[in-house]
Each structure stands twice: as structure tokens, then as C-alpha cells.
Structure 1
Amino acid sequence: MKVEKLIIKDFRSHRLTRVNFTSGINLIVGQNGSGKSSLLDALLIGLYWPAKPRDLKKDDFLRIGGTSTEITVFFEKDGVRYQIHRNITRGISFVKYHDGTGWKTLESGQRQVREWMEKLIPYDVFLNAIYIRQGEIDAILESDESREKVVRQVLGLDRYENAYRNLLDVRKEIDARIKAVEDYLKSTENIDSLIEEMEKSLTEVLRAINELSPILPKLRRELKTAEDELEKLDELSEEVNALKLEVKRREGNVRAIEARVEELSRKLAEAEKRINELKEKVKEADKLREKAELYTKLSEFRKRYSDGKAKSEKLAESYRAQIAGIEERLAELEELKSRLEELERKREGLLKKLTELEGSVKAYEEVKTLEANLKRLMSRLRFSPEELEELERVVENARKRKDEILRRLEEIREEKGALKSHASERNRAILELKKAKGKCPVCGRELTEEHRKELLETYLSEVKGISEKLKALDAEEKELRQELVEVERKLKMERELITQRELLEQAKELEDKLRTYNVEELRARVEEYEGLRNELGKVEGELKNFREELAKGKALERKRNVLKERLRAVEKKLEEIEAELKSLGFSSVEELDGKIEELEPVYRRYLAIKDAEKELKKEEGLLSATRTELEGAKKALKAESHLLSEARRKLEALEAKYNPERHAKARERVAELREELAKTEEKLRGLEERRDEIVENIRKLKDERERRKEKARELENLKRARERVQGLREKVKRYKNLLKEGALAKVGEIASEIFEELTEEKYSGITVKAEENKVKLGVVYNGKEHGLGFLSGGERIALGLAFRLALSLYLAGEISLLILDEPTPYLDEERRRRLVDIMQRYLRKIPQVIVVSHDEELKDAADRVIKVSLENGVSVLREVELGV
């Protein structure tokens, strides 16, 4: 993977930042808080958001004053160029690739893009093999267990551990299947005896079927004869019952027709009476028709006259009022023209004042940005300047005291070595004196017992004195090492000291910038600016209303002309109504009302009898229909009486042939035969079903016997598979341990070279030992191996850095990108200088390296340098020319 370009918008302190990356070593340098580490966070979020990284929260992204956080990453992988874009605020994501002619979309959606990136480069691989974050050095130095965890993640040993655990799950699954097969084989041991019992049962059932089968045909013949006789009797019974029903039905018909003849005769007499009455009403209506029609004509005109005159007079009054209102409004609009000119002049004056105040408004916005940044920095400050000075004194004293302790420990070690050497010599001399005969092994003269005793006492006294000195030195060394632990604890505060000092310096810088502004004066100008803007808004609102009102003038004139036309039309209509009244022969409406009142009784009587002629015709039609219907009813009565006599004669003839007792006995015989046949058939069906069931069970048992043989073969295969899985599991464990040992051996060689350079070859190497869940580190000094407690604080940091760089360099043949975040925070000047040489010698083996640091000395090792600074609360990037 090679990163080509990163574009971020409104992310933390970055407003809009574009940074290009090249092959070789890219150095991003800047003071703490300038926004340089935010670039690496943006890279991680751009590639793996929203699932990873979990320690970065969405609420911390958006820049103060920003609108929308956006990140775009351009990179190349296996010869293909990609770009991933994310709008964090709106939740939009997509990934594209370049096909040589243009960008084509691959995926869109947050989840889809994240899953695609995880498949291309898993997050754990990126974070462990590619990205060395701040804090990993501490994890390497913290304990053997945490160091082993870092090694396992970077080297990818987790894959083998997962395979080892997964193979255990496979073995357990095979064990479960073995047990299930064994249980099955045990449960089916007696299958042959079951088959034999089933075959015996089948023989007995077949014998019973053969005995029962001949009986059925005989029963079916007897039942057929009985059913034929019963069918004939059923038909005769149905004929008798049908004739009885027909006689009853015809008797009812005769009675109904007789009642209908009587009803029609009564209706005929009533109709003749109503016809005579209607003929009289028809004559009266002819006499009243002319006066009734005159009443209708005059009433309709009276209503039209009243409605039309009232409506027209109301419209005329409305039109006159509207015309007067419009003329009054037109007069008011003439007065608005002078007020409009006055407001135009006022608007120009306000715009001029606002232009003069815009510079103060921008300055005040910058002040608010500086105050917000200062507030954020102050919230992170934990110490006052005085407390920082005290902390610096504590750290400086601890550093001096540590050097003193280490020097004294070195002196104690040398003293103890010399004393132990001297004690060893004296002990050998004592042994030789005890064994010596003749000459003294010390002075060479004749050895007497007195001289031997004198020398032994002297040497023993010296050995005793040496032992007491060694105890005193051991006690002093113990006290010094205990004090060293406390001193190291104080030295760990140096990291917090550096961070807090940088925060304090940034806060002072912001305070100095704020002092250059007269905040109260700017605030007053901003308030004045806001007041003027509000006043301008009101003036422009009035101007808009006035212009709109003036624009309405012509429309009002057109409307006034239309209303005058309508008024003239209404007045003409009123004149036409009065003329129509006179044409009817009336001089006034009162005279018209008198005539209508005179004609009203005649009109009401006419309404009451005007439909008499229609009713007369209707009644005459009904009279004719009733006479016709009466004649038909009399004919129907005669025909139905004849049919009733015929039906009674046939019924008497059939009742003489039918015997109910014989019919009942035939029905009982058929029922008995049907029941006996059904029982016999049911019994035979049961035997046949039992036969089929036994045959099917025998087949299943034989199939199960074959399956049992297959299960026996499967059991053997499962046992062999279990042995293979167990063997593979042991191989995976051995391979993982071999891989770990081989990798750590190579890492140890690379780390030794780097550490020797960082410590000016004070140490001759690093030892790396792998144990279960532990990776132990040591150093070689003067040919002897020592633990990490032997190192100073700076040397421990150098060792952690050398080991972590060695892990990535070990993978350099597999990775094409390495990212280092602040590799020098605790290195002294000399070690930082040596890190430059190490970067030039070792890191150039990796095609692309991105280093983020506040240390500008690393420029000497870089191929490209980008400087990040904070200006007015916003991160700004500038490329630095090498050699400058």
C-alpha cells in the first residue's frame, strides 16, 4: 500500500487541508497541538470509520465553527489506485477505483465501504504492521506479557493461535460424532432378531387374508338382490306420496281461485263509482284553468321583480362604496412617494456605516476563535506555571539523582567484584595453607605450625572483613535500588511536564495575541454593527412595502374603471325591471299584489282538481283490466276442479297396490346385509394394511441394517480423522513456536544493531527470549546479560524504540508502508541524532515511510518535509525545502 493524498475538511483544527505523500521518507513536523497527529487520525478514520478506531469519537471531530467533517484518502494497492471519501457529519461514504480513463464507483454506504476496506487490508494488520502509534513503546517496556502481546499482534501469531483453538473445536466435534455413532450402533444391536419376528407376523396375516377373501362375493350378490326389491317398493311409495301431495295442492288452488273471483267482483263495483265522481271534477277544472295560469304568471314576475331589484340595488350600493374607497387609497399613495425618497437616503447612510464597521466584526470573530482555543487549552492544563517549575525541579533533581545512583551502583558493583576476587584468593590461600607441607606457599620459607596458624588467622580475619563489607555494600545497593524506583517514578512525570509546558506556551501565545485587541471596544462596535443591521432590515422592509403599495396604484385605477362600468350595468337593469311592471298593466307593485291576492283561492282549487282527468283515465283502464281478470279466474276455477277429480281417482288405484309392511321388511334386510358386508370389508382392509405395514417395516429394518454397516465404517473414519486433527494441532503449535523463535531471533539481531547505534555501542547487543505468554528482553554489557532494570530511563526508551522498529523492519519485505507517530519524545539530543542515521540506513528499505514528530532534527533523514503550524486556531501546512 502507498498513500498518495489526504484531503480533510473541518476536522479538529483543520479547516481545509490537502497533503500529498511521495515514496521514501515523508516527515510531518510541528509543535504539539498544531494538528500534525490529527492527520494520522484522519487517515485511520478515512480508511476504517465507523467501526475503527474505537478510541476516536464522532463528537470530537467537527472543527469549532465548521459545518461538515469530510475526509478523502487516495492510495495505491497492487498497482490499482483507489479513493475513499467519507462525510462523517452526513453519514455518506463511497470508494472508487481508477481504470486508466476515469474514476469508477466500487461501493457506497458506510457499512459496505468499511467491509470492502477490511477485506483489502484488515484493520489489525494496518495497525500492527504498518502504524506505530504513540504508547506502543510503553507497552513494550511495561511487562513481559504486554511485550508478548505486541509481538503476537505485529507478527500475526494470533492466526496460528486461532487455528490451534479452532482445531480443538474440530476435535471436540469429531468426538461428539464418534459418541453419537457408537450410541447408534449400540441401540441397533438386535436388528436381525426384529426382522425375523416381523417376517413371522407377515406369514400369519397373509393366512388370515386368504381365509376371508372368498366370503365377500357371496355377500355382495345377496345384497344386490335385496336392494333391487327395495328399489321397486321405494318407487311405488314415492308415487303414492306424490299423488297425495298433488291432491292437497289442487284442493288449495280451487279454494284460492274461488276467493279471487269474489274479490274481483267487489273491486269492479267500487271502480264504477269512482269513475262517475272524477268526471264531475274534470268539468270544474276546465272552467278554472285560465285564471290559475294568470296567477302563476303574475306570481313568478312578482318574485323576479323583488329578487332582481333587491340584488341590483345592493350591488349598486357595494360598487359605489368600493369606488369611493379606491379613490381614497389613490390619494394616500400620492403622499407615500415623498416618504419613499426619505427612506432611500436613510438606507444609503446605514450601508455606509456598516461597511466602516465590517473590519471590527471580523476582528471580533477572530477574538472569539482565540478565546475558544484558549479555553480548550486551559481545560487541559493541570498545573500552574509555578507548579510546572516545581515539577521541572523535581524531574531535574531526579535525573541528577539517578545519575548519581547509577554511578554509585557501578562503583558498588566494581567494589563487590574486587572484594569477591580478593576473598576468593584468600580462600584459595587458606586451602593451600591447610594442605601445605614443608615450604610456605606464600613467602617460600620453611613452614612452621606457628607461622601457618598466624597466616590462617590473618587470612580468615581478612575474609571476615570482606564478608562484612559485602553485606554493607549489599544493603547500600538495596537502598539505592529502592530509591531508584522512586526516582524512575518521578522521571515518568517528564512526559506530562513536556505536554503541560507546551500547552502553557500555546496558551501564553494565544493570550499575547488576545492582548493586541481592544476587546471591549470591538464588542461595542459589534453591538453597534448588529443594531445598525437590525435598523437597516426595518428600513428595507418599509421600502419594500412602500414600493409594493405604489405598484398597486395602476391596478387600483383599472379596478375603479371596471367598477364604474358594472354600476352603470346594474342601474340599467333596475330601469328594465320597472318597465316590465308597467307592460303588465300595473302602475305600482301594490296594485300587482292586490291582483295576485284576488286570484289565489281560484289557483288553490285548481291545484286540488287539476289531476282529475289523469285519474279518470287510470281508473277506466283499471276497470277494463278487472273485468278481463274476473273472466279468466272463472275459467281457471272450472279447469282446476276437473284436475282435482282426476288426481283423487289415480290415488285410490295406487293405494290398492302398495303394502307398507312388506316395504319395511325389505328395508331391514338391506341394512343387515350392508352392515355385514362393511364389517367383512373393514376386517380385510385392516389385514391388508397390517400386511403392508409389516412389509414396509421389514424394508426399513433391512435398510437400517445396511445403514448400520455404513455407520461402522464411518466410526473407523472418524477415529482416523481425530488422530489426524490432533496431529495437525500439534504441528500448528510447533510451527507457531518455531515461527515465533525464528522471527524473534531475526528481530533481536536488527534490534541489537539499532540499539548499539543509539547507545554509542555501550552495549554489545540485545537478548530476546520467548516463553509461554511472555517475551523477555535483556542487554549484553561487558559480556554479561542484564535485565531492563540495569538500564537508565533514556536507555530503556531507546531499547523499546529499537525493538519496535525491528519488528516492522522484519516485515519490511511484506509491507510497503510504515507510519511512525512521535518516535522521539523521550530521546536525548544524542540519541535523536543517531535516530536520523538509523532512519537513513534502515527505514529506506521500506518503499514509503510517514513520520510525525515535533523534532525538526529528523529533517536530515527525510526525502520530503511538511511543516504544520497553528495560525488563528487553524492548522496550516507548508512544504519545507530540504537543506534549509
Structure 2
Amino acid sequence: MRVDRVRLLNFKCYGDADLSLERGVTVVHGVNGSGKSTLLEAVFFALYGSKALDDRTLDDVITTGEDESEVELWFTHDGREYHVERRLKLRGDRATTAKCVLETPTETIEGARDVRREVTELLRMDAEAFVNCAYVRQGEVNKLIHASPSDRQDMIDDLLQLGALEDYRERASDARLGVKTVLNGQREVLEDLQEQIEEKEAQDLHDQLNELESRRAEISDKIDHYETQREQAQKTLETAEDVLDRHEETRAEIETLEDEIDDLRSKIEATEREREDASDEISERRTRREELADERTALLAEVALETADPDDTAIQTRIEELEARDEELRDDLEDVRVTITEGTNEIERLREEADDREAQAETAREEADALTDRIDADEEAIVEREAKLEVLEAEIADARALFEDASVDFGAAESHLESLEADREEITAAITDITADIRTAENAIEEGERLLEEGKCPECGQPVEHSPHVDVLDERREERDDLTAEREELEAERDELDARIDRAETLCEAERKVDRLEDNRENIEQLLAEKRETIADRREQREQLRADADEYEAEADAKRSAADEREDDVADARAALGEINSERGELKATLQSLERIAEIADERATLEREIDTLRERIADWEEMNDERRETLSAKRERKRDLESEFDDERVETAREDKRNAEQYIEQVEEKLDDLESERDEVQGAIGGVEEKLADLKRLRQRFERVDAQCAHLESLYGEAETLQTTYGELRAELRQRNVETLERLLNETFDLVYQNDSYAAIDLDGEYRLTVYQKDGEALEPEQLSGGERALFNLSLRCAIYRLLAEGVEGTAPMPPLILDEPTVFLDSGHVTQLVSLVESMRDLGVEQIVVVSHDEELVGAADSLVRVEKDATSNRSRLECGEPPEAELLASD
């Protein structure tokens, strides 16, 4: 896999940046805090999204002051090109993913989870594996070496895909236990089925079924006989019922005729009564018509119309005139009511505002009194802080007094301390080197003395008096004594430096104390100035509050006077309201009289129509009764004809036949019910036996299926057990192979970095425990190495793991770029040179792309391409500048 290009928009410290990366070694160079690591974080975030943010959130990604951010990454993997784009957007107080798309050569994948899943499958490593192998993040260079053996084992096993084998082994174990549980359950089911089959076979079900079927046939024959006899009795019953029904129909018709005759008589009588009532109603309506005429005459006199007998048009004209006047009075009334309502509301408002102003005046006076108390308290606080300033001045003078007899001026103690500590480190390193030389000399002396005691060389058998090992013994002893004396001088010098460092640390502490005291003094002075300014503001505010209180009281008096004036206006409006209501009352009475006159004309016309209607109905009723009398005569004649058709003897014979047939049918029904009940019982017993036989058949079939399942589960249990063992053995075998290969690669890589040094080899056991062996055979834990050596050791381990993965998946899943973020944090200049050798060796071993982020100038020389990062002090935004390393530029200029 190779990163081709990354584009950023509002990503952390980058406003808009676009970077293309080439094959080989690329060094991203710049001062601390310029935004170098952010470029690598952007690549990591583009691949894995929120999983690349550790404990941070999406909110931390978006540049401060912006509401959206974008990251695009173009990369090549296994010869095919890919493009991933992520866009974030602030929604309220939280950032969310607005777009996440991965474009592959064959499809487009959308959604943060789906994209991360596809990248994980594509690179065959998730975000955690990526940082454990290919991406050495800033501050994590010693992550693997500081990890416990078990954690280191989990990290490397996951990278090598061995963790999946353990998952498979556990799944096979769970499957084996599950199969065992199911098998035991099926065996219990098999035993239960066997017991049920034996129980049913002992019941002789086939013999029971034959006996019950014979019994059912006998009962069916009896039922057929009785049903034939019942059919004959039913026919006799139907004949008798037919005769009786015809008799009943005739009798019913006679009764109906009698009812109809009585009904006709009643209707004729009722119609005659209605004719008489209608004549009475005509007389009543004529009387009512005369009364209405008298009422109209009286009303006309009340309203005093111009004509004695006006027509409808004159009356309607008068009504319209009065209604128009009433409308005018209603408008006047509404205006007066509005005046009263508005005046009342304004009176209430003015009095409420007067109350509010009086309350505001009281509040203002209370606040002014409270400000007086606060001003007194502030004046006391000023006195206390002025006293504290005097104490701080004395403490500052005491701290500065320490520098009067010191060898450094105030402000130079920190640099002086750093210089002393640097001198001490140099002396300590020199002591360490001399100690190693002393040990080498002592080893040579011991070897020479041992050979001298033996007299002969144990390998060649020659005398050793004049051998090189023996001849240089005196020189070695003198060299050892000189080195010992030199080491003692250096140790004495180191002790003296320790005392000077203690004094320098005291002076540094004094400088820091002065800085703190001066900060406190500045704060107190600022607080005093603020407090004095506050007192002046509060005094001015107090005077303003008292003036406001006087103004509020004056406004309250003015509003109460205005309310009293509005009271007089409202009283005048109420008097006008009474006059308008009186006039409207008189108008209403006249309108009611005129409307009644108009109604009387309508009522008299209605009475005339009702009289004509009643006369017509009287004539209709007379005609209707004539028709009813003719129908009455015809029905009386039909009744006499039906009464002559009665035959009592035939009716009595039919009744006797009916009784006998009903009695027989009742008896045979009971007998048939008993027989059918008996047949149903037998049929139910047959069904029960047949069901038992079917159950027996089903039990036998199920027994066969369960027996076959048990055989299959036994086979499956054995296969799961074999699979579990196979996964465990395979994992152990693969881990051992990987450990051996990783140990070889680690030693090769470490040898490239530490050529001709004091370390002989590195041992990596099956549990991923690491041991470093010196050339004298002494074993060391990696933690016993110096800081720079530990960093290079861990980088060598990372590179070895990277090489192991690359060799293991070559041709199917090319490795991602090797990314080193600030790997020189724990390295001095000598170790940086070794790091350069490590980077060059990885490039020589065929790593296609290496990206190193560093502020160290020495790494620039190892680069094939250079990216410089700078931060604009004005906008606080980082910007990129791509170019060639200095050596390439010099070659190009030649």
C-alpha cells in the first residue's frame, strides 16, 4: 500500500492543504508545534475515522472557529487505486459525519462503519494493529518494549492473525460443549421414546379396533330400521296437519273478516266525528279573524300613523325609519361605552404606574443605602491589600538577596543549571566509558594470569612465557591503574558538580519564587486599581440612584393627578349613556307594535286558507264514508259463505291422527338418540384407538430420526474435538515459526543499527519475552538500556515486525507505509545517526514508502523528498512546502 495524496480543509491547524507523497523516504520537517504530526493523523483519520482519535472526539478535528472539515486520501494498494473522503459538520454543539465515501476500482462504499470495515479487510489490520505495526506515533516509540509480555503477545498475535486462531479454537470448544449438551438431551429423548413405544405395543390396539368396528355396524343397522318407521309416521303427521291447517286458515279468515267489519264501522264513526270537529274549527277561525281585526285597529291608534288604515308598504316604511334611528343610537351608545372603558382602563393604568414609580423610588433608595455599605467594605479591602503589597516587596528583596554572593546574575540560573547538568552528563558518560575500559583490561589481565599459571596454551600446547597475552600483562596492569586513577578524578569532579548543581537549583528556585511573588504583586496592584475605580463608580451610581428616586416620586404625583381628571370625563359619559338607553327603549316599544300590525295581516290570511282547507276535507270525508259502507256490505256476505263450509268430524279425525303420529315420532326419536349416542361413543373409541396407532407409528418414526441424530451428533462431537485440538496446535506451531523468524529479523535489524557495538544478540522466547545479551554474555532486560538505546531497540522491533508481516503476506496484501512520528524524541546525536542507518536499511530491504516526521536536521539527509511545515504566526494556520533535500539541491545546482 502507498499513500499518493492527502488533502485537508479546516483540519485542526490546517486551513487548506494538499500534499502528494512519492515512493522512498519522505521527511516531514519543521519546528515543534508547526503541525507535522497532524498530517499523519489526517492519513490515519481518513482510513479509520473516529477509531483513530483515541480519547478525543470529532469536535477536536474541526479547526477552531469553523463549522465543517474535510479530509481526502488517495492511495494505491496491491496495484489498484482507492480514494476515501470524509466530511464533518458541526450541528449545534456536536460534530457529526456528514459524508464518508470510499471509492474502489469496482464499487463505491458509503457510511463511516462500512468504510472502516472495508479498510480493515483491505489492509488486514484494524486501527489498533495499524499503530502497533506501521504507524509509530509521537510519544509511543517505547510502547512495545514497555508492554507486559502478555500484552506484547496479544499485540503481535493480532498483527500476525494468530488471535483469530485462538478465537476459532474457543469457538470449536464452545461448539463441542454445545454438541455434547444436545447429544445428551437427544439420548434422553431416545430412551423416553423407547418406553412409550413398548407401553403402546402392550395394549393390543389392532384387536380393540376390530371389535369396536363390529359393534358400530350393528348399531348402524338398528338406526336404519327406526329411521324408516319414523318417515312413515312423519307422512301421516303431515297429512293430518294439512287438514288442520286448512281448517285453521278458514277460521282465521272469518276472524279477520270480523275484525275488518268492526274496523270499518269504527272508521265510519270516526270520520263522522272529524266532520263535526272540522265544522267547529271553521267557526273558531272566523271568530279569531274578527279578534285580529280589532287588535290591528287598537295598535294603529297607538302608533299614530298618518292614515287611519295604512297599507303594508306604509307600515314597513315606518319600521325602517325607526330601525335606522335605533342603529344611530346604537352607534352613539358604542362610542360612549368605548369612552367609559378606555377612561376606566387609563385611570387604572395611571394609578398602577404611580404605584410602580413609588416602588421604584423606594427600591432606588434601598440600593443607594446598600452601595454605601459596599463602599465602606471596599475602602477596608484597599487598606488590607496595600499592607500585603509591602509584605510581598520584602519577600522579593529577600529572594533577590541570594544572588548578591552568587557567581551568576539573577535570571541566568536556569541556563547555568542546564550547563552544569550537561557537564555532569558528559562526566558520567566518561566514567561509564572508563569503567568499560577498566573491565576490558581486567578481563585481559585475568586471561593472561590464567595462561601464565597453566604454563601452556590449552589450544596449541606451546609455552606461554613470551606469548602476547603474557607480555602485555604489565602494560595492562599499568593501563588499569591509570584508568582507575582517572575515574577517581572524574568521580571527584562529579561530586563537586553535584554540590554546584544543588546551589544552582536553589538559585533557580529563588528565581521562580521571585517570578511568583512579582506575579502576585502585579495581580494585587491591578486589583487595587480596579477596586479604587469600582469605589468611584459606586459613589457615582449611588448619587444617580438617589436622583432617580426623586424623579420617580414626581412622576407618581403627576400620574395620580391625570387619573383624577379622567374620572370627570368618565362620569359625563355615563350620564350620556342613560339618555341613549331611554330613547332606545321608547323606539323598541313602537317597533314591536308596528311589527305586530304586520304579523296580524299574515295571520288573517292564514286563517282564511285554513277555513277553505277544512271545507274541502269535510267533502272528502263524506265521499270516503260512502265507499267504506259499500266495502262493509261485501265483507258481511263473504263471512256468511265461509261459516257454511265448517266439517267438525273430519277435523276431529285429523286431530287424532296427528296425536298418534307425534307420540310415535317422539318415542322413536328418543330411541334413535340413544342409538346415535351409543354409535358416537363407539366411533370415539375407534378414533382413540386409531389415534394411538398413529401415535405409535409416529413414535417409531421419531425414534428412527432421533437415533440417526444421536449417531450424527456423536460423529460431530468427535470432529469438534479434533478441530479444537487442531486450532490449538496450529496456533502454537505458527507462533513458534513467527517467533523464530521475528527473532532472526530483529537481530538482523539490530545488527544493522549497532554494528561493532557492545551487544551480541537478542533473544525472543515463545511468550514474546525479550532479552538483550552483551558481548561478554551478560543478559539485560530491555528496560536496563539507556533511553536512546531503548528507543532504537523498539524501533528495530517495530521494523522487524513490519518485515515479518511483509514477508508473510507478500504478493497478496502489500504492507502500508512505514510511518515514524518524531522518533528522535529520546535520541542524542549519535543515536540519531543510527536511526538514519535504520531508515536507510529498511529502504534497502524494499520498503516502498517510508514517512518520517521530525524537527531534526540530520534526518533530512536520509530523505528522497522533503516536506517543510511552517505555522503562520498571524493566522495560527500551518502551511506546506514540498522540495528536495539539501544534497539533491546541491547536485542539481552543480
TM class, shorter-chain normalised?
A: 0.5 to 0.7
State how 1:699-738 maps to structure 2 within 5 Å. 699-738=694-733
Deviations 1:682-740 (A, max 9, x none): 43344344434534543453454344345444434433333333333323222222222
Kindly tell me the number of residue pairs found equivalent between the two proteins. Answer: 650
- Residue matched to 1:533: none
Which residue identity lines up with residue 680 of structure 1 in the other structure? L
Distance 1:255 1:735, change over 3 A: same
CA distance in 2, matches of 1:385, 1:217: 133
Deviation, 1:265, is 0.9
Distance 1:816 1:229, change over 3 A: same
CA distance in 2, matches of 1:389, 1:202: 117
Determine whether 1:875 maps to 2:882: no
CA distance in 2, matches of 1:152, 1:2: 24
Determine whether 1:776 maps to 2:770: yes
Instruction: Give the conservation status (yes or no) of the 8 Å contact 2:85–2:102.
Output: no
State how 1:47-58 maps to structure 2 within 5 Å. 47-50=47-50, 53-58=53-58
Deviation, 1:242, is 5.3
Distance 1:119 1:220, change over 3 A: farther
CA distance in 2, matches of 1:639, 1:407: 159
- Residue matched to 1:863: 864
Instruction: Give the conservation status (yes or no) of the 8 Å contact 2:83–2:104.
Output: no
Deviations 1:563-607 (A, max 9, x none): xxxxxxxxxxxxxxxxxxxxxxxxxxxxxxxx9999999866544
- Residue matched to 2:737: 742
Deviation, 1:800, is 1.3
Distance 1:280 1:728, change over 3 A: closer
- Residue matched to 1:526: none
- Residue matched to 1:820: 820
Deviation, 1:158, is 0.9
- Residue matched to 2:847: 846
Distance 1:171 1:226, change over 3 A: same
Distance 1:200 1:797, change over 3 A: farther
Deviations 1:654-698 (A, max 9, x none): 894267676456434323322332333343344344434534543
Deviation, 1:806, is 0.9
Instruction: Give the conservation status (yes or no) of the 8 Å contact 2:141–2:823.
Output: no
Give the alignment partner of residue 134 of structure 2, picking from 130, 133, 158. 130
State how 1:762-773 maps to structure 2 within 5 Å. 762-763=757-758, 765-771=760-766, 773=767
CA distance in 2, matches of 1:774, 1:706: 58
Q: Which moved more, 1:50-59 or 1:303-312?
A: 303-312
Normalization by structure 1: what TM-score?
Answer: 0.63
CA distance in 1, matches of 2:47, 2:56: 13
Deviations 1:549-575 (A, max 9, x none): xxxxxxxxxxxxxxxxxxxxxxxxxxx
Q: Which moved more, 1:291-300 or 1:743-752?
A: 291-300
Distance 1:110 1:755, change over 3 A: closer
Instruction: Give the conservation status (yes or no) of the 8 Å contact 2:322–2:591.
Output: no
Deviation, 1:162, is 1.2
- Residue matched to 1:296: 312
CA distance in 1, matches of 2:119, 2:143: 29
Which residue identity lines up with residue 726 of structure 1 in the other structure? E
- Residue matched to 1:171: 176
Give the alignment partner of residue 139 of structure 1, picking from 125, 130, 144. 144
Deviations 1:250-284 (A, max 9, x none): 44433333222112112223434555777899999
State how 1:596-745 maps to structure 2 within 5 Å. 606-645=601-640, 653=648, 656-657=651-652, 663=658, 666-745=661-740
Which residue identity lines up with residue 160 of structure 1 in the other structure? L
- Residue matched to 1:536: none
Instruction: Give the conservation status (yes or no) of the 8 Å contact 1:299–1:596.
Output: no
Which residue identity lines up with residue 74 of structure 1 in the other structure? W
Deviation, 1:803, is 0.7
State how 1:80-159 maps to structure 2 within 5 Å. 80-89=81-90, 91-94=96-99, 106-121=108-123, 123-124=126-127, 125-134=129-138, 135=140, 137-159=142-164
- Residue matched to 1:11: 11
Instruction: Give the conservation status (yes or no) of the 8 Å contact 1:195–1:698.
Output: no
Deviations 1:47-100 (A, max 9, x none): 333455443312322322222233232333441332322224353444556699
Which residue identity lines up with residue 86 of structure 1 in the other structure? R
Q: Which moved more, 1:8-17 or 1:261-270?
A: 8-17
Secondary structure of the residue aligned to 2:882 is strand
- Residue matched to 2:219: 212
Deviations 1:528-568 (A, max 9, x none): xxxxxxxxxxxxxxxxxxxxxxxxxxxxxxxxxxxxxxxxx
Instruction: Give the conservation status (yes or no) of the 8 Å contact 1:141–1:800.
Output: no
Deviation, 1:186, is 2.2
Determine whether 1:227 maps to 2:234: yes
CA distance in 2, matches of 1:389, 1:234: 141
Deviation, 1:651, is 6.7
CA distance in 2, matches of 1:53, 1:111: 15
Determine whether 1:756 maps to 2:751: yes
Deviations 1:732-757 (A, max 9, x none): 22222222222222222222232223
State how 1:27-426 maps to structure 2 within 5 Å. 27-50=27-50, 53-78=53-78, 79-89=80-90, 91-94=96-99, 106-121=108-123, 123-124=126-127, 125-134=129-138, 135=140, 137-190=142-195, 191=197, 194-195=200-201, 197-235=204-242, 238=245, 246-272=253-279, 274-275=281-282, 295-301=311-317, 404=431
Structure 1 spans left out of the alignment, 5+ residues: 316-383, 430-486, 488-503, 505-594
CA distance in 2, matches of 1:839, 1:612: 126
Give the alignment partner of residue 788 of structure 1, picking from 761, 767, 782. 782
Instruction: Give the conservation status (yes or no) of the 8 Å contact 1:753–1:765.
Output: no
Which residue identity lines up with residue 313 of structure 2 in the other structure? K
Secondary structure of the residue aligned to 1:610 is helix
Deviation, 1:146, is 2.7
- Residue matched to 1:809: 803
Deviations 1:771-821 (A, max 9, x none): 3x5433333524565443553332222211101111012223331433222
Instruction: Give the conservation status (yes or no) of the 8 Å contact 1:755–1:799.
Output: yes
Instruction: Give the conservation status (yes or no) of the 8 Å contact 1:46–1:86.
Output: no
Normalization by structure 2: what TM-score?
Answer: 0.62
Deviations 1:329-382 (A, max 9, x none): xxxxxxxxxxxxxxxxxxxxxxxxxxxxxxxxxxxxxxxxxxxxxxxxxxxxxx
Instruction: Give the conservation status (yes or no) of the 8 Å contact 1:93–1:110.
Output: no
Instruction: Give the conservation status (yes or no) of the 8 Å contact 2:84–2:102.
Output: yes
State the identity %.
19
CA distance in 1, matches of 2:29, 2:649: 128
Which residue identity lines up with residue 234 of structure 2 in the other structure? E
Distance 1:241 1:747, change over 3 A: same
Distance 1:219 1:132, change over 3 A: farther
Secondary structure of the residue aligned to 2:15 is strand
- Residue matched to 2:793: 799
CA distance in 2, matches of 1:804, 1:180: 52
CA distance in 2, matches of 1:9, 1:707: 69
Deviation, 1:836, is 1.7
CA distance in 2, matches of 1:307, 1:715: 107
Distance 1:418 1:639, change over 3 A: farther
Secondary structure of the residue aligned to 1:835 is helix
Distance 1:260 1:865, change over 3 A: same
Distance 1:118 1:154, change over 3 A: closer
Instruction: Give the conservation status (yes or no) of the 8 Å contact 2:247–2:651.
Output: no
CA distance in 2, matches of 1:242, 1:396: 144
Q: Which moved more, 1:706-715 or 1:647-656?
A: 647-656
CA distance in 2, matches of 1:770, 1:599: 125
Which residue identity lines up with residue 295 of structure 1 in the other structure? D
